[in-house]
């Protein structure tokens, strides 16, 4: 049995954190939280004030690209993930 405090998809979390921190103005405000969803891992990303628009991008293209990258990284860990950007 795994430890509940252990990250269940470390590659996906590392990729997500790195990409989002490189986009925003305040990288120290980036917070990634994991929750178990319906047979998927849900990664919630919180960023500093004013940075959410940068992460989402025009028409959501940046957010969709980030989701694609993170899903590919999670496949290396044998997991399926959803990425949500929250206020």
pLDDT digits (tens, 9 = 90+) for 17-76: 999 999 999 999 999 999 987 788 999 999 999 999 999 999 999 999 999 999 999 999
Contact in structure between 31 and 24 (CB atoms under 8 Å): no
Joined together, the tokens standing for residue 18 give 């790195």
Domains present along the chain, CATH in parentheses? 10-86 (3.30.300.20)
Q: What pTM, to 2 d.p., does this model score? A: 0.88
Q: Is 59 left (phi over 0), alpha (psi -120 to 50) or beta?
A: left
- With H, G, I as helix, E, B as strand and everything else as coil, classify residue 55: helix
Residue-wise pLDDT for 34-48, tens only, equals 998 778 899 999 999
């Amino acid at each position: 049995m795994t430890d509940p405090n252990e990250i269940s998809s470390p590659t996906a979390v590392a990729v997500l954190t790195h990409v989002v921190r490189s986009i925003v103005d305040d990288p120290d405000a980036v917070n990634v939280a994991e929750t178990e969803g319906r047979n998927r891992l849900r990664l919630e990303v919180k960023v500093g004030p004013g940075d959410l628009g940068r992460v989402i991008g025009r028409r959501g293209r940046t957010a969709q690209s980030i989701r694609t990258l993170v899903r590919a990284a999670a496949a290396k860990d044998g997991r399926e993930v959803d990425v949500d950007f929250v206020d």
